Chain A
Amino acid sequence: MDELIMLRYGELSTKGKNKRDFINLLGCNVKHALKKFSNLTYDIKYDHIYIHLNGEKYDDVSKRLLDVSGIYSFSKVYRLPIDLDVLKQEALKLALAENKKTFKVHTKRPNKSFPIHSEEINRLIAGEILRNSDYKVDVHNPELMINITVREDYIYLFTDETLAAGGYPLGSGGKSLMMLSGGIDSPVAAYLMMKRGIKIECIHFASPPYTNEAVITKIKDLLKKLTAYQKEIKLFIVPFTKLQEEIYHHVNISYAITIMRRMMYRIASRVAGKRKDLVIANGESLGQVASQTLKSISVIEKVSTLPVIRPLAIFDKVDIIKIARKIDTYDISIRPYEDCCTIFEVKNPTTAPNEEKAIEYEQLFDFEKLIDDCVNNLEVLTITDEDEDDLL
């Protein structure tokens, strides 16, 4: 008898002729997530992915599977030869190992050449358990489900089903450029994008010496956490100091943030275009700060040449924090370093900017050239899930 994990696909099943590509992609992603378990072997089928444990611990492996998007659920399954006596014996063993009182047997028989019908198998297995234990049958609310699937080559036996992350396999939805500040929200937004199958690259605006290099370390640490979902993440660091200084020099202070955000979207659009990213994404949540009111967003987003996705738009902060804790980015995000949005104090930023006014302010200085400088002088880093260092 072999012990396996059976993965079920979620929304994938609705994807018609692309399904094969999706499954292959998911297979690669699963293998990557589980690569530290060197004994595992894989069977990638049209209906399920089977992972042979070969002695690896189910609990450890299943914990990692929860991070892989595109899996609807999974179960620990026992693979048996097509032999009714073996099935009886193993089903009984499984029932006795669980400390429960009521059960139900549910059989599926895709292999129609197997001579015994599903109902009959249910009766035979239930009878075996009833005769050899204190279990009682409860067809409505059983504490223990004994699931049996009779396929061409094997019989599969399992009890429960663990719900996984859902979503789509990473990479199936194209690539996005994620604006990352280092706060609590943007890593969560990045995670939700990846969960939906969309790969991310990140852009960060740095204003040294007003911002500390420690912020970059923080960003790198955050991305390191996110490599649990995408093994390699590119980070573009924009040298934003000069442009930001010019904004504060020329623009009415109440509009400084609005203009700064518009510049960021312009730069992000240019970088995304060069990188062939299809959308810009960020961690904005409606109403959270002055630049995230509907009015602000509409004036700011006008300058973007790409669609902007805001996975957290309607999330409450407490719910965002819950996810941040789940993906273990929260403790990094709350490290007290300033980002470029907080360095110049703006006492009364406008929450209802006017587009014409914004354009007026922008005509006071030659921002196009400053944007060129930003885009042409990006620092590019690649964050990977590898932690190796020659010294270690």
Chain B
Amino acid sequence: MNSLLSLQDISYSYHSLKEETPALSNISFEVSEGEFLAIVGPSGCGKSTLLSIIAGLLSPEKGSLFYKGRSLACCESEKTVKIGYMLQHDHLFEWRTIYQNVILGLELNHTLSDTNRDYVLKLLKDYELYSFKDKKPSELSGGMRQRAALIRTMAIHPDLLLLDEPFSALDSQTRLNVSADIAQIIRQTNMTAILITHDLAEAITLADRVLVLSKRPACIKCEMPIRFDIDRHDPMMIRNTSEYQLYFNQLWEVLTNEQSVYQSAR
């Protein structure tokens, strides 16, 4: 598969009057078209910083990002690449209806055409939110709200989807259902996605490849392709396979080693 996104030696530090805090150190990896990549790592290691850099919200202090071989910053300023970003909370605006919320990205990009309106209505129908389009977000359940947030992100036809722990605010049962649901949507549309999560089980069941980041300043500790012989739409079925256990144990070992190094360093 062709490389869609490429990061080369990305480093980033946070600065305050007291000190400089290195967050990322020489991160390099590639994401192929249609790939679902998961990134896991200890808390506060800089995972969200990495997504913010890819989304163009932060500029790396060192290193380069390429989208289909061209500088990502150029592509973003020329608007030749659209990056969808799902945050930890759905952040649906209470002063807008569900429909007005999901067309927010189109409004901001000045692309609110009839075709795009129809596309949004189709997405609302497909994801069973059409009858709620005139409701306020507070009238929806957590899972429905997160689906609305996904539609808002997908409405802008993103070339790359960034998922920053989008299920972490949900209770465990809803989380399992919504994560499987959203992963299925992403696979059906063959979208390229990068997921950040604390949850190893989520990373293994959803992603094609898992990257493990080290403690701060984060560097890539391990990279593991994930393959299952069965259909991936049912997360519970995947969790019962022997491959899942194998992947989980291997990743767990890497993460616990990282954690113990982190604790002894403290």
Report whether chain A binds chain B.
Answer: no
